[in-house]
Amino acid sequence: MLDIAPTQVKAPAVAASAVTRRYGDGESAVDALRGVTLEVPAGQFTAVMGPSGSGKSTLMHLLAGLDTPSSGTVGIGGVDITAMNDKQLTKLRRKHIGFVFQQFNLLPTLTAEENILLPLSIAGRKTDKADLEALIARVGLQERRDHRPSELSGGQQQRVAIARALISRPTILFADEPTGNLDSASGAEILALLREAVELDGQTTLMVTHDPRAAAAADRVVFIADGRIVADLTEPTEADVLAAVKEAYVR
């Protein structure tokens, strides 16, 4: 599988170095992350797994610059983002980060196509017609491009969301439980689309999930429990994942 991955790996697409995250202070302080170091090389599809409250979502938020670590550093494309202000982070998001959410989070007032183009429109960037057509074709929404989210199925909405995340060719795509709100058939379609982006475009992707089947679609699965990385599997099968889950969740 990895033979398609880019060989000219320089800096990792995203890297966390000894990050901790503590919420609150005093007696009621909660340590969500207790020192995580993780590098996601460019072109890799990484899944982060862990039980609820393990810190996997916190990790993703830190990596995406949505949250600031209590200590440690996060870098995207070799640039430290931990000290960035809101303006710099906004620019970073426009250029380097794509998001796919569990709840799809499409704007109900926009059509499918407009939702896809939203990041470009916000950033004031020109649309490459051919790119857009190719993307719409890839997610299979040619017939539904003028429909509003309320007229689309969950799977279709998530496909719009993926196209929206890919349109700006981000350095890294974050997917937060992308199959969490979908039936298994739709979920499989979404995973196939993510996989395809990795293989065809070398799209670096980091996905948070607790679905072993989803995780098995990744090149690498990182397990988190109690704010620490407890396992790191490369090209696992579903069975490998399940075994690791058992171990991680039982701890």
Partner 1 sequence: MRSVALKGLAARPVRTLLTTLAIVLGVAMISGALTLTDTMRGGADGLTKAAYDGTDAVVTAKTAFAVSSSDYTAKKPTVDASLLERVRSVPQVAAAVGDISDEAKIIARDGKPAGDGPYFGVGFDSRTTAAKGTTPFRLADGRWATAPGEVVIDASTADKQNYELGSSVKIAAHGTTDAYKVVGVANFGTVKSLGTATFAVFDLRAAQDMFGKAGRYDSILVVGKDGTPAADVRKAIGAELGSAAQVQTAKAQDRFTLDGLKMFIGIITVVLIVFGFVAVLVGAFTIFNTLSITVAQRSREFGLLRMVGAARRQVLGSVLVEALVIGLLASLIGLAAGFGIAKGLDAVFSSMDMDLPDAGMVFAPRTVIVSLLVGTVVTLLAGIVPAWRATRVPPVAALRDAAPGSAKVRLPSRAVRLLASLIGRVTERVGGSAGRLARRNAMRNPGRTAITASAMMIGVALVTLVTVVAQGLRDSTTGSLERRVNATHVITGADGWSPTDPAIAKALAATPGVDGVTAIRQDLALAAGDKEIVNSVDPKTVGGLFTFDWAKGSDDVLTGLGADGSIVDEGWAKEHKLGVGDRFSITSPSGEKLALTVRGIEDSPVIDAISLGPITISQAAYDGAFENRSNVLTFVKAQPGADLSAVFAAHPDAKALTKAAYKEQTTADIDSLLAIFYVLLALAVIVSLFGIVNTLVLSTFERTRELGMLRAVGMSRRQVRRMVRHESIITALIGAGLGIGAGLALAYGVTAAFADEGLSFAVPAGSLIVLVVVAMIAGVLAAILPARRASRLDPLEALAYE
Residues contributing to the site for partner 1 (CB under 8 A):
61, 64, 66-67, 86-87, 90-91, 93-94, 97-99, 101, 103, 105, 107-110, 118-119, 121-124, 150, 164-165, 168, 176
Nearer of residues 164 and 220 to partner 1, judged by Cβ: 164
Judged by beta carbon, residue 121 or residue 234, the one nearer partner 1 is 121
Between 21 and 220, whose beta carbon lies closer to partner 1?
Answer: 21
- In this complex, which beta carbon is closest to partner 1, that of residue 56 or of residue 164? 164
Q: What is the Cα–Cα distance from 53 to 76, expressed in whole angstroms?
A: 25
What CA–CA distances, in Å, run from 10 to 7, 43, 238?
9, 11, 30
Min dist CB 144 to partner 1, Å, is: 19
Query: What are the structure tokens assigned to 8, written together?
Result: 């000219």
Cα(177)–Cα(215) distance, rounded to whole angstroms? 10
- Shortest distance in whole angstroms from residue 70 CB to partner 1: 15
CB of 243 to partner 1, least distance (A): 31
Contact by Cβ (8 Å): 200, 185: no
Closest contact distance (angstroms) between CB of 227 and partner 1 is 17
CB of 234 to partner 1, least distance (A): 29
Nearer to partner 1, 152 or 231 (CB): 152
Distance, CA of 198 to CA of 68 (rounded, Å): 27
Q: Which residue, among 35, 21, 6, 17, has the nearest Cα to 75 in the 3D structure?
A: 17
Q: How are beta strands 228-234 and 220-225 bridged, if at all?
A: antiparallel
